Structure 1
């Protein structure tokens, strides 16, 4: 099975001051940190080896997935079995997590390259941890990554998850060009170009990269020689653009919707969505929202 690379070394500047002392990946969505939803997605896709590309300030992520014997003992003594089950389920037993440091913040491309000693000269997956797939929007939340992996094995083509966005917001994303091919949710289209955060007047389309990649091993030598790009960083987008010159890449149109938890408005939307759908408190929260809106 392919290994997954999850870059968590970013400083989360879009979420300051909340992320001054707390990694953005550890910000809660109700009662679980964002990163736990990402691990769940990996588990549902059958991924059992994960490489965190991390930073010295991100120890709390490592601690979250480590075993806390004191906490488990305390919960056992107090007979809090439900909480104990939740703690035991933070990391599924068949998932192995490895950590590698990204010494300098040199961009997503550099972060991915830092994981090469663990991945080797193999194909691999990249998952951005601040973008989650909305579990409650539809029944497809765990279909996207498995479909991309299956397609990769079938065709040998690298896969990128894509989603239509408002044309006014394309400057926030990597944008792909699929030559205006007809596209529906769950369909695959050949990508002819990919650019990082284009101006809306020069954007090739409104199809944004969501933050899920299934990549051929052919990307490794390109990452090693990718020049410094936008924001003075090594961009994964630039390496993919180089890969397109010799290899086909496909875009997979997302089933459901993504939520950008690395952006304040996106995080607010995600928190609202996951709060109103919470198994225990969702109905109570939903009634509170209705009463609050009615009183305005």
Structure 2
């Protein structure tokens, strides 16, 4: 099996305004909204850590300094915990603190789209393949995580990889859809991409779910990419251009995905994780049953 340049770095585009969660996001970035006991962004970073990512690159915007503070040492908090002998809490915080020098932040000054946000990370990524994880999506799987599965496929195939899932065929018009080519490992070769195809015209029912492994050549494409849908620089357009010269594969993700960029997806993630959390599972299940049966909270 041929060796491919290791995917060491991951990009997290966290500059979005979070307008679907106003007024909460006036003060708290949507990535820092809490699902049970961790902010959304921590679940996404944990997925990258499981996959072996070593360097985390956050593309931020104005009023996102809270994210930078979160991934730093909190001296006053830790001192107070030590004074109160809260050893379990100290261990928890230490386990989630990135190693020194493994986190970088860069600024997207204007909201010009996902493609532009990725391009803003070019100097930090350099001439390396990189992972891209959209911070709204929490992935949960009984087996390996989504990015870990993608890394495993990359070790076999190299190139560019996009994670996809199946949707009901009559829902394909809501998503970015890929065309299906020859099977390769846990995925297949992508023959084309179309964003929100008209009903009945989708090439498949496999939709792009927010996880990517990309080669650095995409930066040159994005640098001159014309604005597309929404008058923004679209990553999908850049990948479509990349496909003219490079192979792009799909990784078939079979776990659960929760779109925490929507209110419904956020509530679904909270319910799913709360029903499995050791401190909340039993009581939460009883409370939900009571609500569903019209009895109020248990």
Instruction: Please give the TM-score of this superposition, normalised by the length of structure 1.
Output: 0.91
Q: Distance in 1 between matches of 2:167 and 2:25?
A: 26
Q: Secondary structure at the match of 1:5?
A: strand
Q: Which residue of 2 aligns with 1:78?
A: 84
Superposition deviation, residue 140 in structure 1:
2.0
Q: Which residue of 1 aligns with 2:142?
A: 139
Partner deviation per Cα, 1:231-252 (whole Å, 9 max, x = no partner): 0000110011111122211111
Cα pair 1:8 1:52 within 8 Å, conserved? yes
Superposition deviation, residue 95 in structure 1:
7.4
Cα pair 1:140 1:255 within 8 Å, conserved? no
Q: Distance in 1 between matches of 2:170 and 2:65?
A: 37
Q: Distance in 2 between matches of 1:232 and 1:203?
A: 23
Cα pair 1:190 1:251 within 8 Å, conserved? yes
Cα pair 1:49 1:96 within 8 Å, conserved? yes
Superposition deviation, residue 132 in structure 1:
1.1
Superposition deviation, residue 5 in structure 1:
0.7
Correspondence for 1:178 among 177, 180, 191: 180
Superposition deviation, residue 65 in structure 1:
0.9
Q: Distance in 2 between matches of 1:155 and 1:164?
A: 22
Superposition deviation, residue 141 in structure 1:
4.5
Q: Mark the CA change 1:64 to 1:5 in structure 2 (over 3 Å): closer, same or farther.
A: same
Q: Which residue of 2 aligns with 1:39?
A: 45
Taking the TM superposition and a 5 Å limit, the aligned residue runs for 1:59-70 are 59-70=65-76
Partner deviation per Cα, 1:140-182 (whole Å, 9 max, x = no partner): 242x322322322332221110001234543443221115x68
Q: Secondary structure at the match of 1:111?
A: helix
Unaligned runs of 5+ residues in structure 2 are: 1-5
Superposition deviation, residue 195 in structure 1:
2.0
Q: Which residue of 1 aligns with 2:150?
A: 148
Unaligned runs of 5+ residues in structure 1 are: none
Correspondence for 2:17 among 11, 32, 52: 11
Instruction: Please give the TM-score of this superposition, normalised by the length of structure 2.
Output: 0.91
Paired positions, count: 289
Q: Which residue of 2 aligns with 1:158?
A: 160
Cα pair 2:153 2:186 within 8 Å, conserved? no
Taking the TM superposition and a 5 Å limit, the aligned residue runs for 1:16-31 are 16-31=22-37
Q: Secondary structure at the match of 1:283?
A: helix
Superposition deviation, residue 139 in structure 1:
1.6
Moved more, 59-68 or 15-24: 15-24
